């Protein structure tokens, strides 16, 4: 009773929740604003001893790629 409607509401909510992390997960591409995905994580050549990492990022839409210095201890 009323279940199909409730299910649709939940599906919409799940879709909205799934869309958000994807947008926040990676930084936006400076060229086309599409989310970038991390393709490789290595220790920073200079500050690796301090726990810093280098993340290789590739745009999911265009060919843009870049490397960023990331401090995993400074989450958010």
Nearer to Zn ion by C-beta: 7 or 32?
32
Q: Going residue by residue from 13 to 52, which x/- string records binding to Zn ion, judged by CB under 5 A?
A: ----------------x-xx-x------------------
Q: Which of 62, 67, 71, 72 binds Zn ion (CB under 5 A)?
A: 62
Q: Please name the residue that has the structure tokens 């210095």.
A: 69
Q: 58, 17, 16: which is closest to 36 by C-alpha?
A: 58
Distances (CA, A) of 41 to 13, 29, 32, 52, 72: 32, 18, 23, 10, 11
Which residues make up the interface to Zn ion (CB under 5 A)? 29, 31-32, 34, 59, 61-62, 64
């Amino acid at each position: 009773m009323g279940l199909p409607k409730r299910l649709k509401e939940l599906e919409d909510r799940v879709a909205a929740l799934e869309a958000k992390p994807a947008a926040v997960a990676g930084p936006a591409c400076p060229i086309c604003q599409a989310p970038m995905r991390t393709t490789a994580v290595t220790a920073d050549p200079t500050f690796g001893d301090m726990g810093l990492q280098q993340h290789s990022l590739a745009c999911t839409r265009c060919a843009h790629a870049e490397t960023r210095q990331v401090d995993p201890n400074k989450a958010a």
